[in-house]
Amino acid sequence: MEVEFNMKTRFIQILPLLLALTFTACSNNEGGTMETSQQNQEKPLQQNQEYAEIGSGAHLVKFPEDLEEGIIFATYDRGDIHENIYVNSREAIEAVQNGEELLSGTVITLEGFRDGELEHYLVMEKRTGWGSQYSPDERTGEWEFQAFTPDREVMEDGIGGPAIGRCYTCHANQERDQYMNSLGQMKEFDLEGNSQSKNSGTETSIASFHTEDWKVSEISNHMIDSKDTNMVGSSLIDGEEKTKIIEDVLLNMYLQQFKS
């Protein structure tokens, strides 16, 4: 009897401890279940995150109105196709040649010709935060792209419109070259030589000709006998008038060469 009494007494003493351990275990299990449940809820949210359709930000790119003030740092000729590649700032070239990232605000423009006729413009522009709505697998850094007609209007078909996504796909493979296909040409571009050519305008080029010893002949209005074509009335024009005529001729030659 005494032994049975002692066992009951010990059981009563141990019972609170057993209950406490049981409650602790249940509480831990519930916490683990809640944490696991929360993680399971987060995963579908991450997997179902929606990204914008590639090219949906193309409307942000406007035609560079100061295109002619840019620098042509590369040209390409492939059969009947000729392309000029412009960059809108000297600072962009300097950054690339110094091994730095292109700055926000950089604009690269491809001017495309076919059989000598202007066919299209392709413009890529970099701005801080651009492209963040795209999937990481499709992003081209912070570049957006747009295609323009020869009239500098947004191209709605052809290589523009829904097809503009091909520009992103093509440039996405050039991540190590800052998503550019012509980074090598920009690195090798002679920036100093370009500055010198810009500083030497038309007047400087014409002034380099020494016209002091030039003679300008004026054909007589008289009929020239076909039997004697060497009989041409001439008069020499001297001084400022002579120089002015020569400079006009050279200017016209220069402009014709520039247009061609």
Instruction: Place 242 in a pLDDT band, splitting at 50, 70 and 90.
Output: low
The rounded mean pLDDT for the chain is 76
Q: Are 74 and 182 in contact (CB under 8 A)?
A: yes
Q: Look at residue 207 in the predicted model and tell me its pLDDT.
A: 43
Average pLDDT value for residue range 69-97? 97
158-181 pLDDT, tens digit per residue, is 999 999 999 999 999 999 999 999
Q: Which secondary-structure segment (H or E) carries 12?
A: helix 2-47
Q: What is the pTM of this model?
A: 0.60
Q: Look at residue 194 in the predicted model and tell me its pLDDT.
A: 82
Q: Look at residue 224 in the predicted model and tell me its pLDDT.
A: 36
Residue partners of 27: CB distance under 8 A and separation at least 6 = none
Higher pLDDT pick, 4 / 97: 97
Residue 96's φ and ψ, nearest 5 degrees, are -65, -45
CA angle 122, 64, 87 (to 5 degrees): 70
Q: Look at residue 42 in the predicted model and tell me its pLDDT.
A: 46
Q: Look at residue 193 in the predicted model and tell me its pLDDT.
A: 86
CA angle 111, 117, 121 (to 5 degrees): 25
185-226 pLDDT, tens digit per residue, is 999 999 988 876 565 544 444 344 444 444 544 433 443 344
